[in-house]
Amino acid sequence: MTGLNWMGNKMTRVAVFGASGFAGTAVIECLLSKKDIEVIAIIHSDGNAWRLSRRKDLTLRQVDIMSRQQVKEAIADATHVVNCTRGSDEVMLKGLEILLEEAKQAGVKHFVHISSILIYGDKPSPESVHDTAQPDPQTNAYGILKLKQDDMVQNAAKNGLPTTIICPPNIIGPYSLFLNGLINMIKNDQFGLLDNGNNACATVDVGNLAIAIERALFNADGTGSRYIVTDNQDVTWAEVTEYMLNLTSKAELITIEKQDIERNIKAPKISLNPLKSLIHLVSSDVREALRKDPLLCRVDMFFRGLVAKLPGKMEDRVRLGVEGPTKISKVSCGPPINWQFCSAQMRGVFHSCDRLQKDLGYTPENTFEESMKAYSKWYCALRGYDTEFEELLKRLA
């Protein structure tokens, strides 16, 4: 294969890293539907690539993004690169560094990176409606990591690699991990609706996300920019959860208050207390672990023998001093709410994709309602709810 088309120009070859993930697969399917584009699906392992490997029209390539040589070989012929990879902090930072350097080296025409709306933190500023706002991930660990990645990608743009960042919120549509998680939480009483569900729930259909990435790949106007992508609709949690509730046997959602969330996700205060540390060190839990060593076991037995020789009340006082009073933990009688997840309802910002539409001509293909209906159909078909076995299968849920 020469890599040249009949005009003698280099063919458009898009290498999609993280191709087997939810977003990556949608990008692959979107690109495969276009003429004159050759798609190189880069996966980390074959175990998660089933949605792609069922296609005979696609060759998968297994690459360890931490291996510079493997990355170099994988993108040697690529004209464009999309990065949808996820992994450990090291993979996301070092892997991205390798990918950016090798993409520049290979003369890649455009590099598109998927970021996350969490770069604006758990409590985004009102200005973050627009993607021109300064990101501030606050204490959100994933947001901090994604912002570090964004900085690397934007630095690469300054150094000559044309890059664009696409920043999605909750990704919906068939196979959606966000919706799968939400429905499971509703089923297991882990989700509570705040303020009657009137708060913003930013969403983007996975197909719309793929369209935005495709626009960014082939439009130089977005070089060096970061764009928020949504379905261009102001969606609330009430609207999202209404679809989800219909897929469960629940009659209604649990309701929660803002104070409940704030109380339950308050970070624990860590203070240094040498006395408490000493008491912990000589506590029965620590001693039990140490007794697994024969020598330390003997030492422990020696001290226990000494304590046992003390007069009765004295022995009890020593034990009480070391172990502390008997503690009984509070057992919650309420539902096992996932407060961290529920706190996303306090974000309160309807993000806008205006700039993506204006700069890159992005037009969402699927509406929020169409995406949710498609998810519902996928979910029902997957679970056999469209068959005479529905009642039997619900017994397994």
Partner 1 sequence: MVSLTPYKLAIIGIGKISLGSHIPAALASPLVKIVAFIDPETERAREIANEFGLDVEISSSVENLKSEIDGAVIATPNHLHAPLAIECLNMGISVLIEKPLASSVEDGLAVIEAEKKSGKKVSVGYCTRYYPNFQLFKKLMDQNYFGKIRKFAYQFGTPGGWSTFSNYIMDRENVGGGVLVVTGTHFLDRMLNLFGYPDEVKLQDDSLGGPEANARLLMSFGQGEDKISGYVYFSKTAALPSGLVVDTEKGHVILSDNQTDLVLHPNDQSNLILNLSNPDASVSEASQFQLQIEDFVRSCQKDCKPMVSAEEGLVSLKLIEEAYQNREKISDDWFELDGK
Binding residues (CB under 8 A) for partner 1: these are 20, 45-51, 53-57, 60, 62, 174-175, 180, 207, 366, 370, 373-375, 377-378, 381-384, 387-389, 392-393, 395-397
The nearest distance, CB 4 to partner 1, in angstroms, is 27
Query: Can you tell me whether residue 41 is helix, strand or coil?
Result: strand
The nearest distance, CB 222 to partner 1, in angstroms, is 26
Our CB check for partner 1 shows the closer of 242 and 288 to be: 242
Our CB check for partner 1 shows the closer of 251 and 397 to be: 397
The nearest distance, CB 290 to partner 1, in angstroms, is 28
Measured CA to CA, the distance from residue 388 to residue 272 in angstroms comes to: 62
Our CB check for partner 1 shows the closer of 180 and 223 to be: 180
Our CB check for partner 1 shows the closer of 52 and 261 to be: 52
The nearest distance, CB 396 to partner 1, in angstroms, is 5
Which amino acid appears at position 223 of this protein? T
Our CB check for partner 1 shows the closer of 266 and 395 to be: 395
Measured CA to CA, the distance from residue 161 to residue 143 in angstroms comes to: 24
Our CB check for partner 1 shows the closer of 62 and 67 to be: 62
The nearest distance, CB 237 to partner 1, in angstroms, is 23
Query: Can you tell me whether residue 266 is helix, strand or coil?
Result: coil
Sort 257 into a burial class: Cβ within 10 Å, 0-12 / 13-18 / 19+: exposed
Where b means 16+ CB within 10 Å and e means fewer, 42-55 reads: bbbeeeebebbeee
Distances 384 to 182, 275, 373, 378 between C-alpha atoms, Å = 20, 59, 16, 10
Cα–Cα nearest to 382, from 58, 51, 47, 8: 51
Of the chain, the end-to-end C-alpha distance in Å amounts to 50
Our CB check for partner 1 shows the closer of 224 and 384 to be: 384
DSSP label at residue 267: P
Dihedral angle, C-alpha 135, 140, 146, 147, nearest 10 °: 30
Question: Does residue 363 contact residue 357 with C-beta atoms inside 8 Å?
Answer: yes
The nearest distance, CB 78 to partner 1, in angstroms, is 21
The nearest distance, CB 392 to partner 1, in angstroms, is 4
